[in-house]
Amino acid sequence: MRFSRTLIPTAKEAPSDAVLPSHIYLLRAGFIQSVGAGLYNFLPLGKRSLDRVRQVVKEELDAAGCQEVDLAFVTPAELWRESGRFEKYGKELLRFTDRKENEFVLGPTHEEMMVNLVRQSVKSYKQLPLHLYQIKTKFRDEIRPRFGLMRGREFLMEDGYSFHKDEEDMKREFEHMEATYSRIFTRLGLDFRVVEADSGAIGGSGSKEFMVLAESGEDEIVICDGCDYGANVEAAVRAPREAPSYEEGEEPIMSPGDFHTPDTKTIEALADFFHIDSHHLIKAVAQKARYDEGREEIVLFFLRGNDDLEETKACNAVGANELVDVSEEELRAAGLTPGYMGFIGLPEGIEYRIDRELKGESNLIMGANREEYHRVGVTVPDFGEHFADLVTVKAGDRCAHCGGRLSTTRGIEVGHIFQLGTRYSEPLGATFLDENGKSRPFVMGTYGIGVSRLLAAIIEQHHDDRGCIWTRESAPFDLEIVVSNIANDEEREAAEKLYRTLRERGVEVLLDDRKERFGFKMKDFELIGIPLGIVVGKKLSEGKVELIVRDGLERMDLSLDEAVEAVLERV
Which chain residues interact with Mg ion by CB under 5 A?
416
Please report how close the Cβ of residue 15 comes to Mg ion at its closest, in angstroms. 28
CB-side exposure of 478: number of CA atoms within 13 Å? 16
Closest CB to Mg ion among 261 and 446? 446
Please state the closest distance from residue 258 (CB atom) to ligand ATP, in A: 44
How far are the Cα atoms of 136, 161, 242, 433 from residue 442, in angstroms, in the given order? 24, 11, 44, 10
Residue 416 beta carbon to Mg ion: minimum distance, rounded to whole angstroms: 4
List the alpha helices (DSSP H) in 248-405. Answer: 267-274, 311-318, 328-333
Main-chain dihedrals φ then ψ at residue 401, nearest 5 degrees: -95, -45
Is 109 or 488 the residue whose CB approaches ligand ATP more closely? 109
Q: Do residues 174 and 207 lie in contact, with contact meaning Cβ atoms separated by under 8 Å?
A: no
* Contacted by 151, from Mg ion, ligand ATP, none: CB < 5 to 8 Å by type: ligand ATP
Residue with Cβ nearer ligand ATP (142 or 277): 142
CB of 210 to ligand ATP, least distance (A): 7
Residue 155 interacts, among ligand ATP, Mg ion, none and using kind-specific CB cut-offs from 5 to 8 Å, with: ligand ATP
Smallest distance from the beta carbon of 452 to ligand ATP, in angstroms?
6
DSSP labels, 364-423: EEEE-SSTTEEEEEE-----GGGEE--BPP-TTPBPTTT-PBEEEEEEEEEEEEEEEETT
State the binding partner of 453 from ligand ATP, Mg ion, none, CB within 5 to 8 A by kind.
ligand ATP
CB of 48 to Mg ion, least distance (A): 27
157 binds, among Mg ion, ligand ATP, none (CB under 5 to 8 A by kind): ligand ATP
* Three-state secondary structure call for residue 539: helix
Query: Considering beta carbons, is residue 157 or 224 the nearer one to ligand ATP?
Result: 157
CB 17, min distance to Mg ion, A: 25
CA within 13 Å, CB half, 315: 16
* Smallest separation, CB 94 to ligand ATP (Å): 13
By CB under 6 A, name the binding residues for ligand ATP. Answer: 109, 140, 142, 151-152, 155, 157, 413-416, 448, 450, 452-453
Distance CA 140, CA 133 (A): 19
Residue/partner pairs of 28-31 with CB below 8 Å, 24 or more apart: 28/467, 28/527, 29/467, 29/468, 29/524, 29/527, 29/528, 29/529, 30/528, 31/455, 31/476
Q: With respect to Mg ion, which residue has the nearer C-beta, 110 or 398? A: 110
Who's near 55: CB < 8 A, 6+ residues apart? none
CA distance 30 to 24: 10
Among 55, 52, 187, which Cα is nearest to 508's? 52
- In the list ligand ATP, Mg ion, none, the entry touching 414 (Cβ below 5 to 8 angstroms by class) is ligand ATP
Q: Which is nearer to Mg ion, 303 or 420 (CB)?
A: 420
Closest CB to ligand ATP: residue number: 450
| Separation of alpha carbons 540 and 348, rounded Å | 88
* Interacting partner of 142 out of ligand ATP, Mg ion, none (Cβ under 5 to 8 A depending on kind): ligand ATP
Identity (one letter) of the amino acid at 6? T
Q: How far is the CB of 216 from ligand ATP (least distance, A)?
A: 13
Residue 253's contacts (CB-CB under 8 Å, 6 or more residues apart) are none
Shortest Å, Cβ 467 to ligand ATP:
22
Nearer to Mg ion, 136 or 165 (CB): 136
Q: Select the binding partner of residue 140 from Mg ion, ligand ATP, none (C-beta < 5 to 8 A, by kind).
A: ligand ATP
Residue whose CB is less far from Mg ion, 110 or 416: 416
Q: Which does 398 bind (CB under 5 to 8 A by kind): ligand ATP, Mg ion, none?
A: none
Q: Is the dihedral of CA 41, 47, 52, 54 positive or negative?
A: positive
3-state helix, strand, coil in the chain (%, to 5): 30, 30, 40
Which of the listed partners (ligand ATP, Mg ion, none) does 550 bind, with a CB threshold of 5 to 8 Å by partner kind? none
Name the binder of 176 from Mg ion, ligand ATP, none, CB < 5-8 A by kind: none
Q: How far is the CB of 91 from ligand ATP (least distance, A)?
A: 14
If the CB atoms of residues 462 and 521 are measured against ligand ATP, the closer one turns out to be: 462
Q: How far, in Å, CA of 141 to CA of 94, rounded?
A: 6
- Burial of 375 by CB count in 10 Å (0-12 exposed, 13-18 middle, 19+ buried)? buried
Q: Which is nearer to ligand ATP, 210 or 470 (CB)?
A: 210
State the nearest-atom distance from the C-beta of 51 to Mg ion, in Å.
Answer: 24
Show Cβ contacts of residue 279 under 8 Å, excluding neighbours closer than 6 positions: 241, 243, 244, 304, 305, 306
In the bound state with Mg ion, the residue whose beta carbon lies nearer, of 109 and 485, is 109
Measured from the CB atom, the residue of 416 and 544 that comes closer to Mg ion is 416
CB of 231 to Mg ion, least distance (A): 13
357 contacts which partner out of Mg ion, ligand ATP, none, CB within 5 to 8 A by kind?
A: none
Distance from C-alpha of 16 to C-alpha of 30, rounded to nearest angstrom: 16
Residue at shortest CB range from Mg ion: 416
Q: Which long-range contacts (CB under 8 A, 24 or more apart) does 21-24 make?
A: 21/216, 21/459, 21/460, 21/463, 22/147, 22/148, 22/149, 22/150, 22/216, 22/455, 22/456, 22/457, 22/458, 22/459, 22/460, 22/463, 23/147, 23/148, 23/149, 23/150, 23/456
Which residue, 290 or 466, has its beta carbon nearer to ligand ATP?
290
Per the DSSP assignment, residues forming a β-bridge with 95 are 105
Q: What's the rounded Cα separation, in Å, for the pair 233 and 196? A: 9
